[in-house]
DNA sequence: GTGGTCTAGACCACT
DNA sequence: GTGGTCTAGACCACC
């Protein structure tokens, strides 16, 4: 998974979101160590300070924990991760309903479509 | 509604999509004339050739019709527009389900969430 | 009231605390505008970025609100301010009890002393 | 316990206070010998003259006694130590009440808070 | 090596 | 003018 940054939002927020995604989807597994700030920064091609800010947001959100001297690791708390997962799911839902609204579908219609459609797989 | 372009896809495709959206959502109403290529191009801040390519894609898709002498107008065909609307709705749905999958929700779970949640408003 | 900074803690935290104090004690009244970041930074003799970080913490804590273009003002929410006031009072209490403990007084003794003593004024 | 010095007060006063604390809290027990001036000075990373001044203040206060030949020891007088302990307790109390006043609590309120709160442990 | 802090200076959008 | 973001580079404490 590559970093995908645009200028529609502060970079550090986008970084935080994408790292959160990796955590929630298990790319960075629960309890495991994260790459160092400098590594991540180099990988994402941003200034270490910017990456730091992103990570510090994850700390605030309880998704990561930092051990001053020995790096930073993903939280071991299932609750914290599930809370984030739920938050993300709600975002997805909101985006879907808004997208549908823009095409002229009411929330009810949007829901109905999902119930019926997409029965493949 | 402003133009939103990035470099993840050819610009003319993004333009076509966004104009299609405007058509489907009634910004450019059925049967009415579209702004001229030059106007649209200036507004979107792209080269007229690029905009031309976007519009000719809409022609191909049956969403617009060009009349040699009097410019280009939105199709008057309800079917054409509904087809496009349906295509877009399916895209939205697909995007939603994929997004949810990435967070670890199965299609079934994603459907259930939509049925239950988002009852505000 | 002058700024008082030492190197026992990050400067930005000390700044945030001292501004919070000013808010709670009414130096910066509820709903009123705060001096600009640059002003405060100059006054405290720190880099604007450092002051910004302090203020951004106050925003996070709900003690201030920032209006992108027209400056930052103290929250108008009584609850937010009372919550902060309570938090500070608890800190004071904790500091007192710990100080007393270090001199060899139990919590109970420390409480008794406060009840009896200090009847001057 | 480490030495904690700032430039808000003469260093020798801060040293005296911190040694007094150690005496009152039993780190340097009643009647026992103190480390030598040189030792203490080296530990606190100050000039021996400064430390000397701090210790002679303790002598003045009756907390320590110096025996020409055999160094300096903590007083064996319970009264002297209790007096110091009481003085410190009053300082703590004063600091607490002043802190609370600054947040907008009257002395009465500050007392009430201590009576009710902090029932943990 | 790790995370964290601070400064200096530039740039942006908004009004 | 306002707040906010980003970069570059230095320094610190910890192990």
What would the pLDDT profile of D53-72 be if each residue is shown by its tens digit?
Answer: 999 999 999 999 998 788 89
pLDDT over 50 (residue D13): yes
Give the distance, in angstroms, between the CA of residue D33 and the centroid of all CA atoms in the same chain.
17
Residue A3 pLDDT: 93
Under DSSP, the state recorded for B28 is S
d(CA B60, CA B63): 8
Token digits of residue C115: 């009840």
Burial classification of residue A32, based on how many CB atoms lie within 10 Å of its CB (0-12 exposed, 13-18 middle, 19 or more buried): exposed
Average pLDDT (D83-102) is 91
pLDDT over 80 (residue C79): yes
pLDDT over 80 (residue C93): yes
Strand partners, D72: D66
Residue C119 pLDDT: 53
Residue percentage of chain D with pLDDT more than 90: 58
CA–CA distances in Å: residue C3 to residues A38, B92, C35, C37, D102: 34, 54, 15, 15, 15
pLDDT over 70 (residue D98): yes
* Residue D2: half-sphere exposure toward Cβ, Cα within 13 Å: 4
pTM (2 d.p.): 0.81
Facing residue for C105 by CB, picked from D89, D103, D118: D89
Residue percentage of chain B with pLDDT more than 70: 95
User: What count of residues does chain A have?
Assistant: 121
* Average pLDDT, rounded, for chain D: 88
Chains with 3 or more CB pairs under 8 A to chain D: C
Residues 32-91 of D with CB under 8 A from C: 85, 88-90
pLDDT band (50, 70, 90) for residue C117: low
* Mean pLDDT in order along chain A per 10 residues (121 residues): 87 94 93 93 94 94 91 93 92 90 87 72 47
Under DSSP, the state recorded for A32 is P
d(CA C29, CA B56): 61
pLDDT over 60 (residue D34): yes
Give the distance, in angstroms, between the CA of residue D97 and the centroid of all CA atoms in the same chain.
20
Strand F contacted by C49 CB (< 7 A): yes
Longest CA–CA separation in chain A, Å = 54
* Residue D33: half-sphere exposure toward Cβ, Cα within 13 Å: 9
| Higher pLDDT, residue C109 or A16 | A16
Whether chain B lies against chain A with 3 or more Cβ pairs closer than 8 A is yes
Average pLDDT (C22-38) is 93
pLDDT over 80 (residue D8): no
Residue D114 pLDDT: 85
- Over residues B33-55, the pLDDT tens digits come to 999 999 999 888 889 999 999 99
Q: Which of D103, D109, D113, D119 to mutate to test the interface with C (most CBs of C within 10 A)?
A: D103
pLDDT band (50, 70, 90) for residue D9: confident
Q: How many CB atoms lie within 10 A of CB A34?
A: 20
Residue D6 pLDDT: 76
d(CA A45, CA A23): 20
Facing residue for C24 by CB, picked from D96, D103, D121: D103
Residue A118 pLDDT: 52
Nearest-by-CA chain C residue for D84: C103
Q: How many CB atoms lie within 10 A of CB A20?
A: 23
């Amino acid at each position: 998974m590559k970093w995908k940054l645009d200028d529609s939002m502060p970079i550090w927020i986008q970084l935080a979101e994408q790292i959160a995604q990796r955590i929630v989807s298990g790319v960075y597994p629960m309890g495991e160590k994260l790459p160092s700030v400098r590594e991540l920064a180099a990988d994402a091609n941003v200034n270490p300070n910017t990456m730091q800010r992103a990570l510090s947001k994850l700390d605030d959100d309880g998704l990561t924990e930092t051990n001053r001297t020995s790096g930073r690791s993903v939280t071991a708390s299932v609750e914290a991760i599930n809370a984030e997962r739920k938050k993300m799911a709600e975002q997805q839902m909101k985006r879907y309903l808004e997208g549908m609204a823009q095409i002229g579908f009411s929330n009810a219609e949007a829901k109905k479509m999902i119930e019926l459609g997409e029965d493949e797989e």
